[in-house]
Amino acid sequence: MSLGFKLYSFFNGNLVHQDSLGNKYYHDKKNPSKRWVVYASGFGPESLPTHFHNWLHNTSDEISTFDLEESNQESLVKRRLQKHTPKHKNTRHKGYNSWQPK
């Protein structure tokens, strides 16, 4: 996260909630429907719980105070990352002989 974005969040946003991982949720002081998140270090979009995701995308106006314990939330994040990690074949064994110019 850049320093400029953190400064923008500090001066132009109202802190609405901070979850157990350290993600901070803001809305604009002048326009409450403009919402964003400042991720904790080492985390990204995969660390957002569903109810916070819904709040960010204006699907829900309520932000629940339900928070999982930090260890449970980190294990959920790790499972999401493993689920979406691409599984490539070994690059040394291509299964065919590629053309080599002479």
Tell me if the pTM is above 0.85: no
Burial (CB count <10 Å: 0-12, 13-18, 19+), residue 84: exposed
For residue 52, the model assigns a pLDDT of 83
pLDDT tens string, the chain, 102 residues long: the values are 688 988 999 999 999 988 878 889 999 999 988 999 998 888 888 778 777 888 888 887 777 665 555 556 666 666 666 665 556 555 565 567 778 888
For residue 46, the model assigns a pLDDT of 79
DSSP, collapsed to helix, strand or coil, labels residue 55 as: helix
For residue 85, the model assigns a pLDDT of 58
For residue 14, the model assigns a pLDDT of 94
